[in-house]
Amino acid sequence: MNIHFDIVIVGSGIAGLSTLIYLTETPDFKKGGISICLIAKDKLDATNTNWAQGGIAAVKGMGDHFNKHIEDTLIAGGHVNDLYIVKKVVESAPDLLNDLIRWGSAFDKNELNEFDLAKEGGHSDARIWHYKDQTGKSIQQALINQLKSFNNVEFYENQHLIQAKKDDNGKFHLQIFTKAENSFQNITCSKLVLATGGIGMLFNKTTNQTVATGDGINIAHKLGAEINNLSFIQFHPTGLYTKNGNIAFLISEALRGAGAVLRNENGVAFMQKYDSRLELAPRDIVSRAIQNEMNLHNAKFVYLDATKIKTEILDTHFPEIKATCKSLLNININCEMIPVAPVQHYSCGGIKVDEFGETNVANLYAIGEVASTGLHGANRLASNSLLEAIAFAKYASDKLIQNLIKNNPSSVEFETYDCLQINKQEIQLTIDKYFNIIKTTNGLIDAKQLLENLKNDANRCELFDYKNHEATSMLNVALILIKDALNQHKNIGVFYNTDL
């Protein structure tokens, strides 16, 4: 690996990879002389992107209109979204979809050879572009293929960004850990893009991949970046509930879009008690309704009934869901109901950025789930997150390529990282207990105290202890999450505290 780059991108999901591809398409990059590097702490496809099922939202016409997508986004977000950003993203969505198609992503077509769009919760029209129930895989693979076709950018797997500092000349110094060699190396760059994804691993039950430990939030926070509304955590209503109580696999909203019905343990459909949009109400409403039914019946799950959906639709549109229900629970979804419960899914807040993805720290960018752009407000509308990631990748690329600092880096000392000997599970159990769909102020105060005790009581250890480093970073992020929750003064969108 070189030791200096103009731009370093951290993350290989849709946010990191599409930022890189857009950069390579700029006239400045094509002129030559600009060095870009992308790193990922695991394999390139070990991302949440790779597991996105439902799809990506974009208006296609045919009776649908930008105003309807804008309105749906605002309703889901509790109208605290940034209207300018909502309009900008929604109106660029069709062009962004064309870029994905140009880069090789496949989307399903119907028998008339037209793109087959689905309808999901909170959407007033069918505008979800999908590839079976594996849209993320299709996008991830297409972007990786693009990346591998470039011979003028560097990319590295299994390289973990541990710390970042900024020197007096404005350059970033990055400390990177190579797991395979158990060694560190330092690189510098003029511009740093954090595309590190979500914070699901803070929770015991999450749909997220193990890479989602919130590293970008911790690093940005230490660099002085503003973190915004981290406590706006979306719980997906329908995680597959397995026999040992684990919930990790997601039963896509699209199954409810195709007609699946939620039923309580007595087999009674219940969504009409909660919202006139029934199963397709926004996720916060459906999640709270399910939680309420579980509380009423003292049950650990409710059922999703897909038995009225035609077999050929289940086979062609939901092959992965069907196969997973069979392999994990021996359930045939054509004739048996699926046990489901809400599960942590998506971080709507994050590192606050402007309309080009830049943070309040000059030349530090955050793109994708790690960022708080204003698009989602207090709750993300389904299938708007892949869209947000590629939108901000595009908006950022033109600005990223300009005004690269060409003077030499000045020296920087990485202070000894305060690495703690902590078990990740202790953090997860605390967050699970006190930061649930329904929160209380006392619970949040207890959580803060427990996490602070964990921090104060833990033994210090060598930074080389990789697991402890990741757990320390998670603990820092967990504290930001709880403090943010305590600073919320009203219930809105995904945020619900019974004491407010």
DSSP state of 263: E
What would you report as the CA-atom Rg of the chain, rounded to the nearest whole angstrom?
Answer: 22
CB nearer to ligand FAD: give 280 or 450: 280
The footprint of ligand FAD (CB under 6 A) covers 10-16, 39-42, 46-49, 51-56, 135-136, 160-161, 195-197, 207-208, 211-212, 215, 250, 346, 368-370, 383-386, 389
* Nearer to ligand FAD (CB atom), residue 215 or residue 305: 215
Q: Which residue is nearest to ligand FAD (CB)?
A: 13
Q: How far is the CB of 164 from ligand FAD (least distance, A)?
A: 10
Q: Which is nearer to ligand FAD, 368 or 443 (CB)?
A: 368
- Give the SS3 label for residue 323: helix
Least separation, in Å, of the C-beta of 439 and ligand FAD?
22
Q: Which C-beta is closer to ligand FAD: that of 93 or that of 337?
A: 93
Quick one: 111 or 181, whose CB is closer to ligand FAD? 181
Q: Which is nearer to ligand FAD, 126 or 486 (CB)?
A: 126
**DSSP 8-state class, residue 301:** -
Produce one character per residue of 169-184: b if its CB has 16 or more CB atoms within 10 Å, e if not: eebbbbbbbeeeeeee
Q: Which is nearer to ligand FAD, 279 or 444 (CB)?
A: 279
Dist. CA 314–CA 322, nearest whole Å: 7
As annotated, the active-site residues are 283
The encoded tokens of residue 407 equal 């003077």
DSSP H stretches of helix in 25-134: 27-31, 66-76, 83-102
Q: How far is the CB of 65 from ligand FAD (least distance, A)?
A: 20
Q: Which is nearer to ligand FAD, 375 or 447 (CB)?
A: 375
Long-range contacts of 408-415 (CB under 8 A, 24+ apart): 408/169, 409/4, 409/167, 409/169, 409/171, 409/173, 409/188, 410/167, 410/168, 410/169, 410/171, 411/167, 412/165, 412/166, 412/167, 412/173, 414/163, 414/165, 414/173, 414/175, 414/186
Start-end of H helices in 318-459: 319-329, 385-400, 424-434, 441-457
- The two tokens of residue 249 are 């696999």
Hey, what amino acid is at 490? Answer: K
287 phi/psi in degrees, rounded to 5: -60, -45
Residue type, 303: Y
Structure token digits, residue 24: 């390579």
Instruction: Enumerate residues 6+ apart whose C-beta is below 8 A from 21.
Output: 103, 143, 146, 147, 393
Q: What DSSP designation does 51 have?
A: G
